[in-house]
Amino acid sequence: MTENAGVKQAGAPGSRGRTTIADVVVEKIAGMAARDVLGVHALGSRTARSMGSMRERMPGADSGKSVTRGVSVEVGERQAAIDLEIVVDYGVSITDVAGAVRENVISAVERMAGREVVEVNIAVSDVKLPDEEDEDEERQQVQ
């Protein structure tokens, strides 16, 4: 048995240094978690989704849908506050969907980013009716 006399232990390796998490990381986690909930049709207002669709079709632009559309966050060293703007499918209970989104987002952000989520504010900006076509589908038919 060897002794480490005179050797100062600095603590666990996980406590040696600092980890910072950018706001966009938490935005992406929250956006993906919100989209995973049944009854959420999209994130962002109709205007934001339309502008995003036009931006995505520009040469050199990101071809995928923006995961952070409709998501804004404030992230501190230990806590995060999240605002979401969602579009729900017609026929679902909006309060049930909002509750499920809140639970899913809190769980994902706390698990993945290690930040306590102090609030998740949800604004329902639209309802997707069964006979409405998505803006993306309308553009494809026009082209």
Q: What is the pLDDT along the chain (143 residues), one digit of tens a residue?
A: 545 555 555 677 777 888 889 999 999 999 999 999 999 999 997 654 454 554 555 555 554 458 899 999 999 999 999 999 999 999 999 999 999 999 999 999 999 999 999 999 999 999 999 988 765 554 444 44
Q: 11: left (phi > 0), else alpha (psi -120 to 50), else beta?
A: left
Q: For the packed helices 23-35 and 94-113, what is the interaxial angle rounded to 10 degrees?
A: 140
pLDDT, residue 15, reads 79
Q: How far is CA 63 from the centre of its chain?
A: 18
| φ, ψ (nearest 5 deg) of residue 59 | -60, 135
Are the CB atoms for 95 and 102 separated by under 8 Å?
A: no
What is the model's pTM? 0.75
